[in-house]
Amino acid sequence: MNDVILRLDAVEKHFGATPAVHGVTLEIARGEFFALLGPSGCGKTTLLRLVAGFEQPDAGRVVLDGTDVAGVPANERPVNTVFQHYALFPHLTVADNVAFGLRYKSEIRNQKSDIDEMLRLVRLEGLGDRKPDQLSGGQKQRVALARALILHPKVLLLDEPLAALDVKLRKEMQVELKALQRRVGITFIFVTHDQEEALTLADRVAVMNLGKVEQVGTTEAIFERPWTKFVADFMGAVNFFDGFVVRPEKMRLHAAATAGAVEGKVESKVYQGETTRWLVRAADGKLLTVVEQNDGVPDAVSRLKPGDRVWVTWERRHEVPMK
């Protein structure tokens, strides 16, 4: 990468004896939409806080746009954060929330028009006089974005930005966030535990586990070619065999004996709308997960019930090698 905006170099952070971030090295390109993905407690939020300046690393370097920011406090870093629960100032209006950081940035002039323009950008025009508790969840989210983006940060950090929203709103905000990032061209780094959200929003993803980065890559690479068992499992590829893994939706079920198939019994089936999720107990005791598309036309497979005999097949090319 020739245009690196943020480089993490063997970053370490311990809380007491437990390492929260352990030897993390990452490079993030200018203008990238980057996801830190992992289960709770994997260190992704600590990593974000190290970049924001709320925590200082025990070892390693955080290099922002070519400058080592070791020891630089949060208020002096050209980085802004959208907090998980937005952290809007309840005693200030929307406009005053958005304007909050401007007075500490002397180079930004013409504040009033800046604020109006920013409110328009996040579709909050006319709501500048409201107080945060008069806003919906999605509107609060947009105020938090406006408040940070108005300062033109080199990197915008987002901590579980959509976790506090309900499902429908979350889908809408995903689209909006992605479009907003393209429009402003600022590097976004967001933390999430939701693999689907990471895939939808990000250009590249770092999957974290126990304070370490397990794999960094494009969303497609992470999804289709996981390097480690943890990544495969976290991305939903749960059918592990000796030396390889197969994703559930790449497997097919058959109601009759098929050449090269693994024979088993239906343990359970869960109808999920677009798909049905089957658990099959193979003859050797292994539990396989198979996801079949529903086409609405009942056939021999869709009529199978728990306890019925079933045959599972997959193609060799869908086997992802794994130690």
**Which residues form the interface with another protein (CB under 8 A)?**
52-54, 73-76, 79-81, 83-85, 87-91, 100-101, 104-105, 147-148, 151
- Min separation Cβ 195 and another protein, Å: 25
| Residue 208 burial (10 A CB sphere; 0-12, 13-18, 19+) | buried
Residue of 89, 94, 114, 116 whose CA lies nearest to 103: 114
Is 80 or 200 the residue whose CB approaches another protein more closely? Answer: 80
- Min separation Cβ 36 and another protein, Å: 17
Is 77 or 170 the residue whose CB approaches another protein more closely? Answer: 77
Is 42 or 151 the residue whose CB approaches another protein more closely? Answer: 151
Integer Cα distance of 60 and 66 in angstroms: 15
Cα–Cα separations (whole angstroms), residue 118 to 87, 97, 143, 183: 18, 12, 9, 12
Is 98 or 237 the residue whose CB approaches another protein more closely? Answer: 98
- Min separation Cβ 186 and another protein, Å: 15
Integer Cα distance of 65 and 259 in angstroms: 57
Nearest-5° angle of CA 22, CA 28, CA 33?
115
Element (H, E) at 13: strand 4-15
DSSP state, residue 304: -
- Min separation Cβ 292 and another protein, Å: 44
- Min separation Cβ 149 and another protein, Å: 11
Is 153 or 226 the residue whose CB approaches another protein more closely? Answer: 153
